[in-house]
A and B are shown apart, each in its own frame.
Chain A
Amino acid sequence: MDQLIRAVEMPYKKERPKLAIGDLVKVTTAVIEGGKEREQIFEGIIIAMSGSSGGRTFTVRKISHNGIGVEKIFPFNCPTVKAIKVVRHGKVRRAKLYYIRALKGKKARIKERREPKK
C-alpha cells in the first residue's frame, strides 16, 4: 500500500540537500506578486522537522530586523521552494528546538558542527 502512495508522490519529489536540526539555511522561494514572479530569501535556523515521505516539512526561524522572531514552515517537495542552501551546520542534541523561542541574543546561539554527522 505504501508503494502505491509513493507512486503518486514520486513525480513531485524534489532533490534537496540533507538538512539537520540546528542548521542555518537559506531558503529561496518564488513569490508571485502582481502577475510577476520574484525570488525571496528566508535565512534562519531549522528548529523542527515533521511529517513523512511526501508531506515532510521543516520549520525555519529567524529574528527579523525589528527583533521579532519569524517562523516559516516549508514543505520539502514544494515547487515554489526553488533552492535550499545550508550555510552552517548546527550542533544540537534534540529533535525540536522550541526552547529557542524563549531565548534571545547571545543565549539563542547554536554551536557550529564542523565534523560530519555520524
Chain B
Amino acid sequence: MKALLGKKIGMTMIYKDGVAVPVTVVKAGPCIVVQKKTVETDGYNAIQIGFEELSQKRVNKPMSGHFKKAGTEPVRYLREVRIDNVDDYKIGQIIDVSIFKEGEFVDVSGKTKGKGFQGPVKRWNFAGHVKTHGTKYPRHGSTGMHTYPGKVLKGTKMPGRMGNVNMTILNLEIAKVDKDNSLLVIKGAVPGARGSLVYVRSAVRGGKTSSSPSRPKQQLRRK
C-alpha cells in the first residue's frame, strides 16, 4: 500500500475544464523509512515511516536509540504501513508525493476538530422541538421506554463531547500533485484543523463505494 504522512494546509479552489473544484492542500512527506517489519521477526509485513524532522535534543533516549539503529535523522511522527513486500523499501529511503498521481483515489485520516460538550441537535442531528408554547425540553425527547426495560439503553444518543476523534474519509480524488512543494491537492474536505497531522493512503476500496461500484463517488448517509 502507498501511504504518506502529511500536514493539512488548508482549502482553496482550482479549475478543471472550466469547472471549479473545491480542494484541500496537504503537505505530504517527504517521509523516511525508519524500520522494516517482517513475518519472521514480527509476524506481519510493514514499514514504519517518519515525517517532519526534529532536532536531536527534542528526542528522548529510547526514541533516539530507535533512530540511531535506523541511521536516520529523528522525526516527530511515526506510523506503520502494512505492505506485502518489504524488500521494495530500504531503511532510510525517502518517500515523496510522486508515489501518487493525479486522478488516483486516496483515503485520508486525521483527528477531527474538537467541538467540546455539545447538545444532541448538533451532535446527532436531532431535529429539536419548538422552543416556545410552554415547552420545557426543546432539545431531545425521550431517552427510553417504560417499566420494561426500565433503564436507558447503552449507547443512547445524548449530549456529550463531540469531535476530537480519529476519522477516515474514503475515496477522495487527487486533483493535483505538486512535487516541487511536495503538495497533494485533494478534492473535497479532509478531517482536522489546519496544520494537523493527516495520513494519506491509496484507497482501500479503489475509489468505489460498496453500494454502487460503478460510481466513484462517496455517498454520505446520515446516521
* Known pairs A7-B181, A8-B178, A8-B185; A1 contacts B10 (CB<8 A): yes
Interface centre among B14, B185, B195 (most CB of A within 10 A): B14
Residues A55 and B9 in contact, CB atoms below 8 Å apart? no
CA distance A4 to B181 in the complex (A): 7
CA distance A80 to B19 in the complex (A): 9
Which chain A residues lie closer than 8 Å to B20 at the CB level?
A: 75, 78
Min Cβ gap B152→A in Å is: 45
Q: Mark interface residues in A1-35 (1 if CB within 8 Å of B CB, else 0).
A: 11011011100100000000000000000100000
Complex partner residue of B183 from A8, A12, A53, A55, CB under 8 angstroms: A8
Complex partner residue of A54 from B9, B12, B178, B181, CB under 8 angstroms: B12
Which chain A residues lie closer than 8 Å to B25 at the CB level?
A: 4-5, 8
Which chain A residues lie closer than 8 Å to B27 at the CB level?
A: 4
Complex partner residue of A8 from B18, B23, B194, B195, CB under 8 angstroms: B23
- Mark out the residues of chain B between 21 and 41 whose CB falls within 8 Å of any chain A CB in the assembled complex: 23, 25, 27
Min Cβ gap B198→A in Å is: 14
Complex partner residue of A4 from B13, B14, B18, B183, CB under 8 angstroms: B183
Residues A54 and B13 in contact, CB atoms below 8 Å apart? yes
Complex partner residue of B12 from A8, A78, A79, CB under 8 angstroms: A8
The reply to whether the CB of B15 lies closer than 8 angstroms to some CB of chain A is yes
Interface centre among A2, A8, A55, A75 (most CB of B within 10 A): A8
CA distance A68 to B15 in the complex (A): 31
CA distance A5 to B13 in the complex (A): 10
The reply to whether the CB of B140 lies closer than 8 angstroms to some CB of chain A is no
- Mark out the residues of chain A between 49 and 91 whose CB falls within 8 Å of any chain B CB in the assembled complex: 53-55, 75, 77-80
Complex partner residue of A5 from B9, B15, B195, CB under 8 angstroms: B9
Min Cβ gap B71→A in Å is: 30
Which residue of chain B has its CB nearest to the CB of A9? B12
Residues B18 and A7 in contact, CB atoms below 8 Å apart? no
CA distance A77 to B12 in the complex (A): 12
Which chain B residues lie closer than 8 Å to A2 at the CB level?
A: 10
The reply to whether the CB of B176 lies closer than 8 angstroms to some CB of chain A is yes
Q: Mark interface residues in B178-213 (1 if CB within 8 Å of A CB, else 0).
A: 100101010000000011000000000000000000
Complex partner residue of A12 from B9, B10, B15, B195, CB under 8 angstroms: B15
Which residue of chain A has its CB nearest to the CB of B195? A1
Residues A75 and B13 in contact, CB atoms below 8 Å apart? yes
Complex partner residue of A79 from B9, B15, B194, CB under 8 angstroms: B15
Which chain B residues lie closer than 8 Å to A80 at the CB level?
A: 18
Residues of chain A whose beta carbon lies under 8 Å from any beta carbon of chain B: 1-2, 4-5, 7-9, 12, 30, 53-55, 75, 77-80
Known A55-B12, A55-B13; 9 more pairs at CB < 8 Å: A1-B195, A4-B183, A5-B25, A7-B181, A7-B183, A8-B12, A12-B15, A30-B18, A79-B15
